[in-house]
Amino acid sequence: MLKGIPNILSPELLKVLCEMGHSDRIVIADGNFPAESMGKNAIVIRCDGHGVPELLDAILQVFPLDTYVEKPVSLMEVMKGDNAKTPIWDTYKEIIAKHDKRGANTVGTIERFAFYEEAKKAYAIIATSEKAIYANVMLQKGVI
């Protein structure tokens, strides 16, 4: 055990977060995201039983968001014609505001299939049990 490290961050996840360099990206994926097929060239970390918000909050306690890009946080856009609601995005923005003074201004969206293409280039993908739809979030690492 370590002081000041959220218990939800496993040794494997901490190692990956530490290995990542400036501009590397990590995806925190909902339960429907095809983590294994998208992550063929990435490290896939299973966090079954956990949702995205609690992992996002824990990760942002130790993970700096990139300050050299306008939107270091990317969400998967809702598909046109899909009547899905995304209240979880408001939760993400509240969590981000706790850890980054830019708050919701750090958050952008990426079209669904473009998000998949970007996820294939991510350093790591965290597979969660999140049930909310369109709950995937991609973070770009900054410097300390």
Tell whether 113 is covered by a domain: yes
Tell whether 8 is covered by a domain: no
Tell whether 119 is covered by a domain: yes
Domain boundaries, position 133: 23-140
| Catalytic residue selected from 24, 50, 99, 116 | 116
- The structure's pTM equals 0.96
Instruction: For residue range 87-106, list pLDDT tens digits in order.
Output: 999 999 999 999 999 999 99
Residue-level pLDDT at 1 = 73
Tell whether 125 is covered by a domain: yes
Q: How many domains does the chain have?
A: 1
Tell whether 11 is covered by a domain: no
Closest of 66, 86, 89, 79 to residue 141, by C-alpha: 66
| Catalytic residue selected from 57, 66, 100, 123 | 66
The span from the CA of 1 to the CA of 56, in Å, is 20
Q: Catalytic residue at 123?
A: no
| Catalytic residue selected from 22, 68, 82, 90 | 22
Strands 107-110 and 73-76, bridge-based pairing: parallel
Q: Catalytic residue at 99?
A: no
Tell whether 92 is covered by a domain: yes
Instruction: For residue range 75-88, list pLDDT tens digits in order.
Output: 999 999 998 999 99
Q: Catalytic residue at 30?
A: no
Instruction: For residue range 40-81, list pLDDT tens digits in order.
Output: 999 999 999 999 999 999 999 999 999 999 999 999 999 999
Which CATH number do you get for residue 118?
A: 3.40.1650.10
